[in-house]
Amino acid sequence: MEDSAAVAGRLWDEWLPRSVRRLVGDVLPEGEADGRRLVVWLAGIHDVGKATPAFACQVEGLAQAMRDRGLEMRSREAMGAERRLVPHGLAGQVLLGAWLEERFGFGVKQAGQFSVVVGGHHGVPPEHGQIAAVEGRSHLLWTPGRSEPLWRRVQAELLDACADVLGVRGRLGAWRAVKLPQPVQVLLTAVVIVSDWMASSPELFPYFPEDVPRSGEERLAAAWKGLDLPGPWQPTVPAGPVEELFASRFELPPGASVRPVQEAAVELARQVDEPGLMVIEAPMGEGKTEAALAVAEIFASRAGAGGVFFALPTMATGNAMFPRLLKWLDRLPVSGEGRYSVLLAHSKAALNEDFTDLMRGRRIQALDLDGDAGRAPSAAGGAGRASAELVAHAWLRGRKKSMLSSFVAGTVDQLLFAGLKSRHLALRHLALAGKVVVIDEAHAYDTYMGMYLDRVLSWLGAYRVPVVVLSATLPAGRRRELVAAYSGRTAGPDGEGGFDAIADRGDYPLLTAVAPGGTPLLRRPGASGRGTPVIVERLEDAPEAVVGRLEEELAGGGCVLVVRNTVRRVLETAVVLRERFGPERVTVAHSCFLDVDRAVNDAALLTRFGPPGEATARPEGTHIVVASQVAEQSLDVDFDLLVTDLAPVDLMLQRMGRLHRHLRGGTGQAERPARLRTARCLVTGADWTASVPRPARGSVAVYGAYALLRSAAVLMPHLDDGPERPVRMPADISRLVQVAYADTAKVPAGWETVWEEARLRHEAHRADQAERAAVFRLGAAGRPGRPLFGWVAAGVGDADDTRQGRAQVRDSRESLEVVVVRRRQDGTLATVPWLAPDRRGRPRADLPLPTDQVPAAAAARTAASCGLRLPIQFSSPEVMDRAIAELEELYVPTWQAKDSPWLAGQLILALDADCQTLLAGFGLRYSPHDGLEVTRG
């Protein structure tokens, strides 16, 4: 009890961000001083429920010693399963509530808002039914009869002693009138959980020290030194001109200046009365990421936040963002002790070399009883870190603790999990409550994910967490939903800053800011000044038509991006293009590559097609990249010509953002081939000869007919008029998105029947998504003073970043993930043979994977990096079950060893010497150039 209380005090003083301390202190009579007392006291008493027969009976020898002192109890066997109905957390909640009511005159609800912290310290606050069940089982709290008064006295002595020693006896009377908001109850619970875990660590607090027992202060000092936990970020408000701020934080190209959107975002962040939600809508390539980080620094300094969480749509975009986050951290002024905990948050982070560099740089040390924690030489996880030390702290790498790191880049799932009823949800809320949250690509989330996101935003608003939302193509209705969810208001004054204004506003770029409970503010910065008119034309869907048109367009050379909506269409198109242009002039990019190959492919795309000055190997002559949707997000690539399947209009515009993205040879684009100096987008993937355009079947399966018809409808004037009416980038972005997603979208003549059928299917699908998402979605924060009983009732249990975990917050068909290895001709297994050495020069190709012993760590890790998600053909229940059964035939017991975790529990797909195999009736073939090809067996 003493150790837990002491740890809680140190966490409050040195680890919790100022914003969290302020949120707790603001509802207590003596502010943060009361907040510290409350946290320390609750941590000290959190295990008082162990002083009950139901818990004390577990070790017979110790139980008998207690019986000898008059504390009677039945044996563990005699109590049977009934004792599990009163776990010690629930018992402690009941004991504390009764003590507050009897000794200090608390009402039941008044006591409940404090006692629920004790009841929920194992991750799930008790439900009303569990609490009611205790009433008929008082023999589990104290043995009726002559020993009952003694049990009660022991329990009261413990609570009295904590009240006296921890200095709250004189405060409880004042706290009786306090109504703790539910967000504060959550944070108190989370801090108690963290304190409990630390104090329960025998490495930090040895049970049997060999020397003379130390005082509590000495024990705490040794443990805290051994833990060596980095403190929170403590930024100061960056002053001075915006240009100086950006020059000091980011590597701007020579001659580059701050974009109007960036300048306006910084000025708005400085001007708002209170940091809140800021939605930044601006074209692709306008530097929204840099604007978000600059705003995050200002918001953090003003709000007292201790870190940043950057949420991205996919693992690939998370991996791409992580080194950018590290570079930004390198350039920040040092604050506090100058050490920051950093995390890459997704299930395959341990395979990311930037993150593993940080993990190698520093490790938690075992406690030295002589007081010397034996700190390893400090390392920064990379070259050139002259500002702060960045560490992937070992204690913060656990599945439930990792988000407590100060700076995190990861998938949006980690954010959405905060809206999922699950065990230890309080820890996720504590992790977010002390940060600034940045949400990238906000338009990319469907109704199912959107319901979770809106609920999370409502809790972030309750925690007064600053949030920055980024999008190039956000419908105005969705903008309003995000603002309303965060602010807690759905209506407000009309006009310039009202909610009606943000729903109807079509300005672009646009900044929208709102504080919790506040009224929105709008800013309309200009674009960067360079516009690109894009001529859009129809193109027949047949691959031969694409080839013929490209032969014509590429007579003088050029770099072309062809975007298909399915992997199958990507590969079919690549075949015919290679027959005509040669395999060396056609590159394939899609989602069905090994993880390690996908990373290599993305890096190669940036090297060849990235911005001028950064792309060092842009092809001369002709080159064609055939890609799926992986080309839409987070890749700063630039092409001379675009061919794309019809897609929802916001995604069409994202794809157009890869066309003439940068100036090449001045305003006339003189460095591009003469025929391609005017930006053009050829739209295929539909039968344009029909009375109503008929999208390709695969595109309908991915996006639904309604979104594709709406896209075609808004693009039709541009398709009809061609050069006379180009899509003006960025001026037309918002107009096209708002019209396409408006509730009153105009239906083209003759489309009415097909349109209405598609709309009804779309609405039914959205209603189904909303209904299913509501099953495990967290409720909204209740009124202040209402105890957190049943907060995560009927939840999902543990939520984590696994395939099953992600399926709880994403409405996607379940898919199989496998680790791909190669079976040599002699029957032995090895890593695939084409892998290049790692960044340290160590080989990775064709490393042996013996089945009779634990593989070498380097070989096992390399194999684990060859993860592959099987495509949609394997998502039906029948095919999936058959595939799993066949994959489980290759079960290697030695690969399940605890000291070799890379391959444990993985499904292994072994390709033959020609990189082919059969699985569940399908033929699989893999190559590093084309990825996975699937055919009917």
Residue found by looking up tokens 């940060």 in the block: 435
Task: Give the pLDDT confidence of 76-91 residue by residue, as tens digits.
Answer: 999 888 998 999 999 9
Which pLDDT score is estimated for 503?
A: 53
The reply to whether omega before 848 is within 30° of 0 (cis) is no
Of 205, 227, 249, the position where a domain reaches its end is 227
Beta bridge partners of residue 614, listed in sequence order: none
In a domain, 789, yes or no: no
Which pLDDT score is estimated for 352?
A: 78
Domain assignment of residue 151, given as a range? 2-227
Q: Give how many domains the chain has, as a whole number.
A: 4
pLDDT > 60? residue 375: no
- Low-confidence winner among 250-264, 412-426, 436-450 (lowest mean pLDDT): 250-264
Is there a contact between 678 and 658 (Cβ–Cβ < 8 Å)?
no
Predicted confidence band of residue 376 (pLDDT cuts 50, 70, 90) = very low
Predicted confidence band of residue 356 (pLDDT cuts 50, 70, 90) = confident
CA triple 381-385-389, angle to 5 deg: 65
Residues 518 and 536 in one domain: no
- Amino acid identity of residue 57, one-letter, is C
% the chain with pLDDT above 90: 68
Which pLDDT score is estimated for 662?
A: 86
Q: Is residue 349 classed as helix, strand or coil in its secondary structure?
A: helix
Which pLDDT score is estimated for 861?
A: 92
pLDDT > 60? residue 805: no
**Sign of the alpha-carbon torsion through 532, 537, 541, 546:** negative
Q: b/e map of 676-696 (b: 16 or more CB within 10 Å)?
A: bbbbbbbbbbbebeeebbbbb
For residue 111, the domain's CATH number is 1.10.3210.30
Is there a contact between 645 and 569 (Cβ–Cβ < 8 Å)?
yes
Task: Give the pLDDT confidence of 836-890 residue by residue, as tens digits.
Answer: 998 888 999 999 999 999 999 999 999 999 999 999 889 888 999 999 999 999 9
Residues 271 and 395 in one domain: yes
Task: Give the pLDDT confidence of 398-411 residue by residue, as tens digits.
Answer: 678 888 999 999 99
Residue found by looking up tokens 């027969």 in the block: 53
DSSP state of 854: P
Distance from the Cα of residue 214 to its chain's centroid: 42
The mean pLDDT value for 451-471 works out to 96
pLDDT > 80? residue 802: no
Distance from the Cα of residue 15 to its chain's centroid: 22
pLDDT > 60? residue 781: yes
Residues 503 and 639 in one domain: no
DSSP state of 394: G
The mean pLDDT value for 825-838 works out to 94
Of 523, 548, 570, the position where a domain reaches its end is 523
Which pLDDT score is estimated for 639?
A: 96
The mean pLDDT value for 684-700 works out to 96
Residues 426 and 300 in one domain: yes
In a domain, 194, yes or no: yes
Q: Is residue 686 classed as helix, strand or coil in its secondary structure?
A: strand
Element (H, E) at 131: helix 128-134
pLDDT > 50? residue 825: yes
Q: CA 342 to CA 648: how far, in whole Å?
A: 36
> What is the crossing angle of helices 18-25 and 425-433, to 10°?
110
Is there a contact between 266 and 294 (Cβ–Cβ < 8 Å)?
yes
Which pLDDT score is estimated for 383?
A: 32
**Sign of the alpha-carbon torsion through 746, 749, 752, 758:** negative
Predicted confidence band of residue 663 (pLDDT cuts 50, 70, 90) = confident
Categorise residue 285: left if φ over 0, alpha if ψ from -120 to 50, beta otherwise: left
Beta bridge partners of residue 521, listed in sequence order: 513
- Low-confidence winner among 613-617, 646-650, 720-724 (lowest mean pLDDT): 613-617
Residues 91 and 198 in one domain: yes
Is there a contact between 829 and 917 (Cβ–Cβ < 8 Å)?
no
In a domain, 429, yes or no: yes
Q: b/e map of 467-478 (b: 16 or more CB within 10 Å)?
A: bbbbbbbbbbeb
The span from the first CA to the last CA of the chain, in angstroms, equals: 64
Q: CA 342 to CA 324: how far, in whole Å?
A: 13
The mean pLDDT value for 734-755 works out to 91
Which pLDDT score is estimated for 478?
A: 92
Which pLDDT score is estimated for 592?
A: 94
Q: CA 587 to CA 597: how far, in whole Å?
A: 13
In a domain, 412, yes or no: yes
Of 504, 523, 542, the position where a domain reaches its end is 523
% the chain with pLDDT above 70: 92
Residues 507 and 574 in one domain: no
In a domain, 190, yes or no: yes
Residues 362 and 466 in one domain: yes
Residues 334 and 475 in one domain: yes
Residues 278 and 413 in one domain: yes
For residue 580, the domain's CATH number is 3.40.50.300
Task: Give the pLDDT confidence of 507-535 residue by residue, as tens digits.
Answer: 889 999 999 989 899 999 987 777 889 99
Residues 315 and 208 in one domain: no
CA distances to 176, 821, 850, 864, 893 from 853, in Å: 63, 17, 6, 17, 9
In a domain, 566, yes or no: yes
Q: CA 188 to CA 521: how far, in whole Å?
A: 33
Task: Give the pLDDT confidence of 551-593 residue by residue, as tens digits.
Answer: 999 999 999 999 999 999 999 999 999 999 999 999 999 999 9
CA dihedral 112, 117, 121, 126 (to 10 degrees): 20
Structure tokens given for 730 = 């960025």
Q: CA 304 to CA 233: how far, in whole Å?
A: 9
Is there a contact between 322 and 382 (Cβ–Cβ < 8 Å)?
no
* Rg (alpha carbons) of the chain, rounded to whole number: 30
| Percent helix, percent strand, percent coil in the chain, to nearest 5 | 45, 15, 40
User: Nearest CA to 879 among 926, 832, 919, 849?
Assistant: 919
In a domain, 778, yes or no: no
Structure tokens given for 375 = 């700190």
Chain-wide mean pLDDT for the chain?
89
CA dihedral 913, 918, 922, 925 (to 10 degrees): -10
Which pLDDT score is estimated for 616?
A: 87
Q: Is residue 572 classed as helix, strand or coil in its secondary structure?
A: helix
Residues 182 and 304 in one domain: no
Residues 44 and 64 in one domain: yes
Is there a contact between 438 and 310 (Cβ–Cβ < 8 Å)?
yes
DSSP state string for 493-551: --STTSHHHHHH---SSEEEEE-TT---EEE-----S--EEEEEEE--SSHHHHHHHHH
In a domain, 578, yes or no: yes
Considering only residues 815 and 419, tell me which one the structure prediction assigns the higher pLDDT.
419
Which pLDDT score is estimated for 709?
A: 97
